Structure 1
């Protein structure tokens, strides 16, 4: 075996790791015959590529050089879906980046259509995997308006958890921020990411969500970023989000 055999990975993975496109988009490019390796069209997304072959990858005749990764935060407005292209024709979060010429970026985690607040994007799949890791990724903090004023016992029960659709759901913490006559705002912190976790957890206690805003991911705060606007993360923020969280 030659020197190039020391480390070989699939062609689709190489394109994704370079920040050029998602893994699924890389597969589509390869299957459609738009990717060449050493001048030869490759149609197998899992075709093994050695380190020394990376300089000879082309997409549509242009060298597929790695690009500088980008890391962004968006204050997601309510009513947008977190996807690049929605099969039902609904407006997506990518409308917030219209005209910005950012290249390929993907959401890091999700917020459902009715939810608002802090949403991350990047072109670095490895960083995204660390941030969303269920065991070591950062906590997520939400401010949630509900249709009642909860008792102290209810807040404790949210932390103890309850079964929903066969899953055990709980909040790492649930505290009362402020209350009116008929509704209240809670601060809920999650240390795991399950589909519609807060809405399902509250529904298990017959509590409806009126608004749900993610205000922080780990040390990163949404702050005063206007709704629908985005900004680049600083080097310190990028590093801070991907640090392994201490065991509890």
Structure 2
């Protein structure tokens, strides 16, 4: 969806932010593009009166600013664009995907102690019992586009189930299953290997819903023994050790950007 810009207005002497011209975006989007926070968080900061453009507090989240000239401050401190950081973590089982857990449980940030980046956030989530590839960035627009269902960026998982897989299970997961009134469907499912009493399958999703694979298996009365995310949009976890973090290469970031672009996800 393209940006809807308001009619041209005359800039006021006091630094009004209502005139769209040049590199102009809404104030919440400006904070997002600078890597400071998400637009939802920015709207909350603005409503609390904590954001200023120049020396003027701006309480209107629909206000426009020119990123090439505006001096934006939060709590009196000027916000500058942060260097973009893109990381991958091989998340171990047992960690929760949050910065601060009220129950005091270990979090994924315990693996990021070498990266002192204030606004580094996970792209999506893996629940406590799940493991594998988890991306982090301070590039909020990149993260939002990667998560947007319209971009159809695939995510692949290796899943161990508590029974021998058969064609009926594979067909049911790709045809669609209802769980709590919601239709859940995998893009593809294939058998990887099996033992005497359990099997490993590979599941690909393009629209990840909360606990989607576990809920699909619950609908089939199948137990999930392990769930490991192994790839996002062609970016593979590879042999990264469990609990380890590495930066994405320039080519890996470019490849993900191409996939986002092919999906043509745009934001206001």
Normalised TM-score (structure 2): 0.82
How far 1:157 sits from its partner (Å)? 2.0
Q: 2:220 aligns with which of 205, 211, 222?
A: 205
Q: Say what the alpha-carbon RMSD is for the aligned residues.
A: 2.4
**Secondary structure, aligned partner of 1:198:** helix
Deviations 1:119-158 (A, max 9, x none): 1111112211221121323111000011001112221222
Which residue of the partner structure matches residue 95 of structure 2? 80
Q: How is 1:75-114 mapped onto 2 (pairs within 5 angstroms)?
A: 75-114=90-129
Question: Which secondary structure does the structure 1 equivalent of 2:150 belong to?
Answer: coil
Aligned residues: 246
Check the 8 A contact 1:161/1:168 in 2, yes or no.
yes
Equivalent residues in 2 for 1:146-185, closer than 5 Å:
146-185=161-200
Residue of structure 2 in register with 1:17 after alignment: 33
Cα offset for 1:205? 1.0
CA contact (8 A) 2:156 2:204 kept: yes
Using structure 1 for the length normalisation, give the TM-score. Answer: 0.89
Q: Is the 8 A contact 2:90 2:132 kept in 1?
A: yes
Q: Distance in 1 between matches of 2:262 and 2:197?
A: 37
CA distance in 2, matches of 1:85, 1:60: 22
- Contiguous gaps of at least 5 residues in structure 1: none
> Do residues 6 (structure 1) and 14 (structure 2) align?
no
Instruction: State the partner residue of 1:48.
Output: 63
Q: Which residue of 2 aligns with 1:70?
A: 85
What per-residue deviation string (whole Å, max 9, x for no partner) do you get for residues 87-141 of structure 1? Answer: 3332221111124212311111111111000011111122112211213231110
Which has the larger displacement, 55-64 or 148-157?
Answer: 55-64
Structure 1 pair 21/133, CA: closer, same or farther in 2 (3 Å)? Answer: closer
Deviation at 1:16, TM superposition (A): 2.0
Q: Is the 8 A contact 1:130 1:137 kept in 2?
A: no
Alpha-carbon distance in structure 1 between the residues aligned to 2:42 and 2:216: 37
Distance 1:46 1:68 in 2: 25
Structure 2: segments with no counterpart, 5+ residues: 1-8, 12-16
